Amino acid sequence: MNPKMSIRMMLAAAPLIAALMLPNSVSAHVTLDQREAPVGAGLRVAFKVGHGCSGSPTVRLRVRIPDGLIAVKPMPKSGWQIETVTAKYDKPYGYFGNATLTEGVREVVWSGGKLADDHYDEFVISGFLAASMTPGMMLYLPVVQECETGVHRWIEIPTAGKSADDFKEPAPGLKLLPRSGQAH
């Protein structure tokens, strides 16, 4: 092969090679399996964990439950213990018919397991998005991922004019949609 042609091919391929060597920002975060859900409805969401902390395995995952996500229940996970922290809601929420909920799960913690850095897994909760939530807004679920060595705090919540892409460790978010039957 012509040496000038080899140099041209290497120069042309350099941006592609550099892009492949950079970490993939989408897989570098704890993300949700769904990105949107209607208010006034049940919800199942999985927190997708695609890596540990610089090679160290994940050993604990803590999820803070935001206002408006009520009646939360975590899914058991083989090899992991579950702890829930219950507290009063900021306000009462209507729930299925005439029921009113004033307290519930505000944090879920999975611990005692070990998710290797080169493996992937999901941690699941179910709940209900209160009908009083505002369609069109983002609901953020901050997550702290603890590893044998190190921690990732996926807790950064964008303010007006910012997006999750503007942050190193953004909280996973869920766009709230109108309740079924509501006009868009």
Cα distances (Å, whole numbers) of residue 43 to 52, 72, 81, 103: 27, 9, 22, 18
pLDDT for position 164: 79
> Residues 39-47: what's their mean pLDDT?
96
Contact 55, 115 (CB under 8 A): no
Give the model's pLDDT for residue 165. Answer: 82
98-127, pLDDT tens digit by residue? 899 999 999 999 999 999 999 999 999 999
Q: What is the pLDDT of residues 154-166, one digit of tens each?
A: 999 988 888 778 8
Q: Over 60: is that where the pLDDT of 5 sits?
A: no
Q: Is the pTM of this model over 0.75?
A: yes
183: pLDDT strictly greater than 50:
no
- Per residue in 62-89, pLDDT (tens digit) is 999 999 999 999 999 999 999 999 999 9
pLDDT digits (tens, 9 = 90+) for 29-42: 899 999 999 999 99
CATH architecture of 26-177: Sandwich (2.60)
CA dist list (Å): 134 to 66, 70, 120: 14, 15, 33
Q: How crowded is residue 49: how many other Cβ atoms within 10 Å of its Cβ?
A: 22
